[in-house]
Structure 1
Amino acid sequence: MSIRRLIAVSILPLAGLLSACTQAPVSPQGTVGASSSTRAEANKRNALAFYDAFFNRHDLTAAQRYVAPGYIQHNPRVASGRDAFVNAFTQIFARYPQRRSTVHKAIADGDLVALHVHTVTGPDDRGMAIVDIFRFDGDGKIVEHWDVMQPVPESTASGNGMFD
């Protein structure tokens, strides 16, 4: 599959997909001999469900369902461990109760899922463009995280938007 096709099929109609998969992690094990693409798709569903529950609905209990206790964090401002992650975002959500994230692209490859996200703290915030990369274990839980972030500019030299 070409990268252009992969990106095209990864742009998500969030309304139906996210609400359908926010209950509990989907085990990527599936059936014996489940393909890598089946595991990757289950991991992508888990990443999207986690993102919607945790970052949009501020449901801190989503971390219990989707994040492993020994979670490894590579963001320099957040400590490793599920509890440290929840503590950091408890403070962020208290400071920014209108904080929301829109996932524009989701790409899965084996145990890795990358999300291209626009996060705002409120209606007057241009926000941040974020790429989150999650690594999943065999039980469909997030065990490791990397991210890169940049402010969304008012305009771009190319004329292309950050999420077009």
Structure 2
Amino acid sequence: MRSSLIGLAGLLTLAVSPAFAAGAATQEANKKTVLEFYEAGLNKKDFDAAAKFFGPRYIQHNPTAPDGIEGFKAFLGFLREKFPDSHSEIKRAFAEGDFVILHVHSVREKGTRGRAIVDIFRLEDGKIVEHWDVAQEIPEKPANGNSMF
């Protein structure tokens, strides 16, 4: 009985492994897409370089940002004009299914503490189609000694 269970477990592992590997490969590809998009768009403020990572639509869930691909273009224009030296350092990136989550240290003006941001992207067919984010200012005097990153 025990050897039958071990054999069955081995067969299930073989049957699931290709699907698991394909899912893991897709998640890594999605993560790479979002990281390249972030560098091109948010750091280099290059809409044309960032636009190739969008799907046929882009749904923006941040209530202070305009919706759609043209909304993202307008946001980059705002960054170029108001915060030309802004830079975001990605501290962590996670992929799960069609979602990629980034933990980011964003500094709009040199010499400031900046903000901690969590960006969530949803992809379809390897292209970004949806975005959510939450941002928190980094306080001068935190209530604890723990880093936000």
| Structure showing greater Rg | 2
Give the distance between the partners of 1:48 and 1:64, measured in 2 at CA: 13
Find the counterpart in structure 2 of residue 90 from structure 1: 77
CA-to-partner distance for each residue in 1:96-147, whole Å, 9 max, x for gaps?
1001000000000110000000111121221110000000011x11000000
1:122 aligned partner: 109
Unaligned runs of 5+ in 1: 1-31
Q: Which has the higher strand share?
A: 2
Instruction: Determine the C-alpha separation between the residues in 2 that align with 1:61 and 1:136.
Output: 19
Residue correspondences, number? 131
Gaps in structure 2 of 5+ consecutive residues? 1-17
> Alpha carbon RMSD of aligned pairs, Å?
1.5
The corresponding residue for 1:104 is 91
Residue 160 of structure 1: aligned partner: 146
CA distance in 1, matches of 2:23, 2:56: 24
**Structure 1 vs Structure 2: percent identity of aligned residues?**
46
Larger helix fraction of residues: 2
4+ runs of 1 displaced by more than 3 Å? none
Report the counterpart of residue 134 of structure 2 in structure 1.
148
Which residue of the partner structure matches residue 14 of structure 2?
A: none
How far is the alpha carbon of 1:68 from its aligned partner?
A: 2.2
